[in-house]
Amino acid sequence: MKFATLPNGTLDGHLVVVSKDLSKAVDASAIAPNLLSAVQNWHKNESELQALYEQLNAGKRQDAFDFDPSRCCAPLPRSPQWLDASAFLNHGKLMEEAFNTDPIADFDKIPVMYQGASDDFQGPTVDIPMPKEADGIDFEGEFGVVMAEVPMMASVEETAKAIRLIVQINDWSLRALGPREMNSGFGFLQAKPSSSFAPVAVTPDELGEAWKNGRVNMSLHVTWNGQRFGEPHGSEMNFSFPELMVHAARSRKLTAGCILGSGTVSNKSRDAGSACIAERRVIEKIDLGEIQTQFMKFGDRVRMEAMFDDGSVGPFGVIEQKVVANLVKSQ
């Protein structure tokens, strides 16, 4: 199934089911008012939502309308919790090599993860206001999962069954603010503005063979100001999503609707390019001896789209956004 959220004046928006080819949508609020409610009541709502999806794809819904991704909010405009990992170890190892930092203990055995803000996720095409260019504005292409409730100390088998939806994410970063916050021992806050999401969240079966070993086996095509930036592949994720969920549930349960990100999609091959500017910069430092690429400026645009290995477009739709100066003044 494929889902999207349209604005309706509420914090959680209005749930619609989207057709397989992303061309049509139909109101699903009679089954669940919003996607968070649908996930929290999955066992009650799943069969009705599946029936609605099948009717839409069969052309049997007279109330179907053209699907316009530009109207969409994030599939979940807010969530009980947002967790982000660093599951592509190549990314972390590049950072260590470029800056000659000590390796994180057990980096290849215990996932690195932080808890971010989850109250204000952004839609796929809205302009993104940022405080200052000097903050080091960066995009980060990721995949993520939306989960059912996960008990404390859950097994991999249990967490695998708790994955309800898969999403595509741009986890914005302000790189100049990150080092101080990491060194404080408390983790990110100001360095992590609200994340953005592709318009459509999908059930794992929509990926077919591309959902394998708890990973999104698709390439994430990223362009910056219309220029190719990279298309790293999700198959090189060192920790699977079920394994990441086990780590997150080590000492507490996870409630339905929580979102877990993979961290920046990163591949060992330089030919794959990158999904964030910081990684390109460290590669330049390693390979060329100096950093050449600057971070984003106001007016810059970034585009992200997941693609299947056969070259066909992915199921999530496109993230395409412009960075703008924050002009909202505090009262």
For the four alpha carbons of 137, 280, 282 and 116, in that order, the dihedral sign comes to positive
pTM over 0.75: yes
Give whole-number Cα distances, 161 to 142, 146, 229, 251, 304, in Å. Answer: 21, 12, 35, 19, 28
* Rg of the chain (C-alpha set): 19
- Tens of pLDDT, residues 82-122: 999 999 999 888 877 755 667 778 888 999 999 999 999 99
Residue 280 and residue 289: Cα distance in Å, rounded?
13
Nearest Cα to Cα of residue 4 among 171, 200, 298: 200
Q: Which residues, in sequence order, are CB contacts of 76 under 8 Å at separation 6+?
A: 5, 12, 35, 36, 39, 121, 146, 197, 201, 257, 259
Cα three-residue angle 171-272-220, rounded to 5 degrees: 40
282: tokens are 């460290």
Cα separation of 205 and 220, whole Å? Answer: 19
**Taking a C-beta distance cutoff of 8 angstroms, is the pair 54, 19 a contact?**
no
Q: Give kind and range of the element (H or E) at residue 302.
A: strand 301-307
Q: Residue 98's pLDDT is what?
A: 58
Burial of 93 (0-12, 13-18, 19+ CB in 10 A): middle
Tell me which residue of 239, 277, 305, 247 sits closest to 83, measured CA to CA: 247
In angstroms, the CA 80 to CA 44 distance is 20
Give the number of other CB atoms < 10 A from CB of residue 113: 18
pLDDT at position 92 is 82
CA–CA gap between residue 11 and residue 222 (Å, rounded): 29
Predicted local distance difference test score (pLDDT) of residue 211: 98
Map out the domains of the chain with their CATH numbers: 2-67 (no CATH), 82-325 (3.90.850.10)
Report whether 131 contacts 41 (CB < 8 A). Answer: no
The angle at the Cα of 162, spanning 159 to 166, to the nearest 5 degrees, equals: 105
Residue 98 C-beta-side C-alpha neighbours within 13 Å: 20
Write the pLDDT tens digit of every residue in 306-324.
999 999 999 999 999 999 9
Residues with pLDDT less than 50, the chain: 331
Instruction: Write down the pLDDT at residue 76.
Output: 98
> How far is Cα 176 from Cα 163, in angstroms, rounded to an integer?
34
pLDDT confidence of residue 105: 80
Quick one: DSSP state of residue 176?
Answer: T
